[in-house]
Amino acid sequence: MEAMRDSRQHTGLTSGLRLGSRPAAVGRLHLALEDTPEYERPARLSEFFARLGVRYDADPVHDDPIEIDLTLQALPGIQLLSGRMQGASYRRTRAGGDPTEDIGLIINPRGEHRICQRGGEIVLGDGEAALVSLTDALESTHRSPGELLVLRVPWSRLAYHLAGGLDGFLRRIPHDVPALGLLTNYVKIAWQERTLASAELQRLLVSHLCDLMAVAIGATRDAAEMAQGRGVRVARLHAIKQDIAGHLDRPDLSVSALAARQHCTARFVQRLFELEGTTFTEYVLAERLALAQRMLTDPRRAGEKISSIAYDCGFGDVSYFNRMFRRRYGAVPSEVRAQARQAGRDGLS
């Protein structure tokens, strides 16, 4: 089929990959249909998922164009589907003979999302989520911009960690539930930092994602306590480090200001860094010095004063910057810049 040959529509195919979380193959698939005529897109979507043991039927609705751009990332024990799917009413049923009993946490980043299952219906707003069965038929209609994120795991993986058990299906999870925000942010950061490089990192990521899913849906007390020491803690630390990266140029960056933005206490922030064997102050200093080193060796900033670079990295005292930089890199900033220039000239000769 033409769709199977188009690299824009199918990339990263991994032998043995199935939509169900078993077998636990690892790989990535991508379906992008922006270059496909709109009337053909439902059929292409159906072809894509049919290869994975799932049937998708689509009926155009509303005035939204049919837009489909999906990425399926499979890891041992979990699968993540993200992207955009709008402009039609989609009905999903699994192929006969599939023994898996999986569940999906549907997170709705943007666009009104109507979901129907087991005789019930829910309409998710921006940032809201709901737990669904991936064994039973599922109908959904997503209005523009139609962004979605779905995390699929075996029901057995979460069953004993959820306080409400089956009562949690098709129940609205508000956008301001802290664990839901941490979960969404953690997925983004994991992709950005390419944390899927090794089997050990994959195992840890899956464990942390399941912890966050359980807490967001409604975990038992024991499960919530365990998650606080594992997935929740890691996700909070990732979010805090991301916050720091966005404020490195601020000389007034402080643990109290950061804690206020993250809606936690300063002591909680400090404790997270202590568990990593460092302190908030040491981490910020190391990140600022690393940023300064990158700037000093960047040919595009060769004409800038070293003092300006120091200020841009959040240092209010140039003497202190020079002293800390030399302690970290064994050379003063001017020497590092000169070495980078010489290396550039040698590369051209």
How many Å apart are CA 346 and CA 83, to the nearest integer? Answer: 45
Note the Cα 108 to chain centre separation in Å: 13
The total of structural domains in the chain comes to 1
In a domain? residue 312: no
Q: What is the pLDDT of residue 320?
A: 93
pTM, to two decimals:
0.67
What is the band of 15 on the pLDDT scale with cuts at 50, 70, 90?
A: very low
Strands ordered across the beta sheet of 88-94: 54-60, 88-94, 138-142, 113-117, 120-124
Residue 57 belongs to what domain range? 2-196
What is the band of 223 on the pLDDT scale with cuts at 50, 70, 90?
A: low
In a domain? residue 119: yes
How far are the Cα atoms of 33, 49, 85 from residue 7, in angstroms, in the given order?
11, 16, 19
203 has a pLDDT exceeding 90: no
Least confident among 101-110, 146-155, 204-213, 287-296: 204-213
In a domain? residue 340: no
Instruction: Compute the mean pLDDT over every residue in the chain, rounded to the nearest whole number.
Output: 81
How many Å apart are CA 173 and CA 197, to the nearest integer? Answer: 32
For residues 18 and 10, the answer to whether their CB atoms sit within 8 Å is no
Q: What is the pLDDT of residue 158?
A: 82
CATH code for position 109: 2.60.120.10
Phi (first) and psi of residue 230, to 5 degrees: -125, -95
In a domain? residue 282: no
For residues 293 and 313, the answer to whether their CB atoms sit within 8 Å is no
In a domain? residue 223: no
88 has a pLDDT exceeding 60: yes
Residue located via tokens 């480090």 = 241
For residues 100 and 62, the answer to whether their CB atoms sit within 8 Å is no
Q: What percentage of the chain has pLDDT greater than the value 90?
A: 30
Q: Of 31 and 229, which is predicted with more confidence?
A: 31
197 has a pLDDT exceeding 60: no
Residue 270's Cβ-side half-sphere holds a number of Cα atoms within 13 Å equal to: 8
What is the band of 114 on the pLDDT scale with cuts at 50, 70, 90?
A: very high
What is the band of 9 on the pLDDT scale with cuts at 50, 70, 90?
A: very low
In a domain? residue 298: no
Residue 135's Cβ-side half-sphere holds a number of Cα atoms within 13 Å equal to: 11
Strands ordered across the beta sheet of 102-110: 27-32, 67-75, 78-86, 147-154, 102-110, 128-133
SS3 of the chain: the string is CHHHHCCCCCCCCCCCCCCCCCCCCCEEEEEECCCCCHHHHHHHHHHHHHCCCEEEEEEECCCCCCEEEEEEEEECCEEEEEEEEECEEEEEEECCCCCCCEEEEEEEEECCEEEEECCEEEEECCCEEEEEECCCCEEEEECCCCEEEEEEEEHHHHHHHECCHHHHECCCECCCCHHHHHHHHHHHHHHHCCCCCCHHHHHHHHHHHHHHHHHHHCECHHHHHHHHCCHHHHHHHHHHHHHHHCCCCCCCCCHHHHHHHCCCCHHHHHHHHHCCCCCHHHHHHHHHHHHHHHHHCCHHHCCCCHHHHHHHCCCCCHHHHHHHHHHHHCCCHHHHHHHHHHHHHHHHC
For residues 83 and 70, the answer to whether their CB atoms sit within 8 Å is yes
The pairing of strands 54-60 and 78-86 is unpaired
Q: What is the pLDDT of residue 97?
A: 63
Q: Of 223 and 324, which is predicted with more confidence?
A: 324
Q: What is the pLDDT of residue 178?
A: 82
What are the structure tokens assigned to 307, written together?
A: 């003092």
For residues 139 and 85, the answer to whether their CB atoms sit within 8 Å is no
Mean pLDDT for the stretch of residues 157-177: 82
1 has a pLDDT exceeding 70: no
In a domain? residue 295: no
Q: What is the pLDDT of residue 14?
A: 42
What is the band of 19 on the pLDDT scale with cuts at 50, 70, 90?
A: very low
In a domain? residue 93: yes
What is the band of 169 on the pLDDT scale with cuts at 50, 70, 90?
A: confident
348 has a pLDDT exceeding 80: no
Q: Of 171 and 274, which is predicted with more confidence?
A: 171
